[in-house]
Amino acid sequence: MIEAQLKRMGIINVRIKRNLASPILYEEIVKNQEGLVAHLGPVVVRSGKYTGRSPQNRFIVKQKPSEDFIWWSDENKPFEKDKYEILYDRVVAYLQNRKLYVMDGYAIADPKYRMPVRVISRWAWHSLFARNMFLRELDEQKLSRFEPEIKLIVVPEFNASPNIDGTTSEAFVILNMEKKEVLIGGTGYAGEIKKAVFSMVNYFLPHKGVLTLHSSANMGKDGDVALFFGLSGTGKTTLSSDPDRLLIGDDEHGWSDNGVFNIEGGCYAKVIRLSKEDEPLIYETTRKFGTILENVVIDPISRRIDLDDNSITENTRASYPITHIPNIVEGSFASHPKNIIMLTYDAFGVLPPVSELDPSQAMYHFLSGYTAKVAGTEEGVKSPKATFSCCFGSPFMTQKPNVYAKLLGEKIKKHGVKCWLVNTGYIKGGYGEGERISIEYTRAIINAILQGRLDRIERDILPVFGLRYPRYCPNVPNDILSPQKQWKDKDAYLKQLKKLAIAFVENFKKFEKYVDDDVKKAQPVF
């Protein structure tokens, strides 16, 4: 059956290794010289030239009817249908007489919306990655009849020719919505696999009235659910991995009329300089069999890893099944959220550590997706730079942003969800002058939110932004809750506050025609 299915895709004359167990995939990884087994059991691999996603090399095939719904942008660049078909034929021709690893699983924990996913890869560790990251089918009978809905062909060693293929480089990630198909080549970075599936889901689920979210989620022992939005470096994974709460998922979720569900079956955590003290749950996964450590440095003799070594990349990653975390929500499915927490790394030090958002402000900050880059995080960045990623996941949002924002606003109001903006960046001044708020204080703020201990605290109003922030938070010094009181130079504070506000307003201009007046009124006023 698998041969016939692949033949329909044009893949013929190949050697198939399908749905291998983790120990067998370990053997294949070592035999193929794709990686090394580390002390205590994880497997350490390299992704090659690309150690992160390549948004400039990502495309969507432009064709009817999907082209009318796609948000065409720098993240969603159009690719001609005829060019895609030619490149596809070149890829499947390249695969002939080669060994392929096939892994079958599902995206979406809610059975009502579940989508079968098949990852066809050249590297064994990519097959293990798919086994970790997607929901598994354990029934052998169902596996024998498995019919994929979303199909990925992953060929890292196949390099495109830009002059011939119409790509921007040798690397490419091309989504075909009509065929529910993804081509990935020229890059071995495994994050492209998971984010390609997420991008597909982000296209199909909103058509069914389901909101897709680039967020982590957890649940308290009383069943209260919290969503955490945040871009890389804001603490989304760290803060949702709480020993006192149950993890639903660390990165991708959906919100239907039935509640919140994980889209994945695993986690993909950044592990550079991972601390056992600050992040004990994630740290333990780096010492377990089945975990993939991508671009982590390993001593080839002792086989011990060094999580502090960034000589390969700052973007070192661990892929592991969610069951590696001891406290999880069985089935990765829970009720509607009680709290939504939007995390931002404000390197300018002007936003409060915590602010409460009304529904209109929540939609505004969701569409804005603000954080900041600092020197050393990206080539050419010498001083703090405001950056915006709508819906806190612009590169993966394939429909127009207002589609997601409208769904979010409707669900917030329907379920009476409380929304918060939490600054995990700088206090007492901006980058180079102030200091980053400690993880201890941020955890205390999160705990106070989730325990309802900020609900009756008096609020002050932040100038320009109109944010309401509490005067008191348990286990957090009062003097850091008010940013304008922390700065020695009050005029310098207001100047920097207005500078950030201008960046917000300029960024939001592209959304103004899509949103209601109440959301527009949530903008900074200066």
Catalytic residues, which ones?
Answer: 53, 195, 214, 232, 236-237, 251, 317
For residue 387, how far is the Cα from the chain centroid?
A: 16
Look up residue 194 and give its amino acid. Answer: K
List of E strands, 302-452: 305-306, 317-321, 333-334, 337-344, 354-357, 370-373, 385-388, 418-423, 426-427, 435-436
SS percent in the chain: helix, strand, coil, step 5: 35, 25, 40
CB of 109 within 8 A of CB of 151? no
Which of these, 223, 221, 226, lies nearest to 236 by C-alpha position? 226
Give CA–CA dist 241/335, Å, rounded.
18
Give CA–CA dist 273/435, Å, rounded.
19
Q: Name the DSSP letter for residue 72.
A: -
DSSP symbols for 227-288: EEE--TTSSHHHHH--TTSEEEESSEEEEETTEEEES-SEEEEE-TT--TTT-HHHHHHTTS
Give CA–CA dist 299/297, Å, rounded.
7
Tokens 């550590």 correspond to 353
CB of 312 within 8 A of CB of 306? no
CB of 234 within 8 A of CB of 251? no
**In residues, how long is the chain?**
526
Task: State the DSSP H helix or E strand holding residue 441, giving kind and residue range, or none if neither.
Answer: helix 439-450
Q: Are strands 252-256 and 211-219 parallel, antiparallel or unpaired?
A: antiparallel
Rg for the chain, CA atoms, rounded: 23
Give CA–CA dist 224/64, Å, rounded.
42
Query: How many other C-beta atoms lie within 10 A of the C-beta of residue 506?
Result: 11
Task: State the DSSP H helix or E strand holding residue 469, giving kind and residue range, or none if neither.
Answer: strand 468-470
CB of 384 within 8 A of CB of 372? yes
Task: State the DSSP H helix or E strand holding residue 293, giving kind and residue range, or none if neither.
Answer: strand 292-294
Give CA–CA dist 158/172, Å, rounded.
10
Give CA–CA dist 162/172, Å, rounded.
10
For residue 167, how far is the Cα from the chain centroid?
A: 25
Give CA–CA dist 80/85, Å, rounded.
9
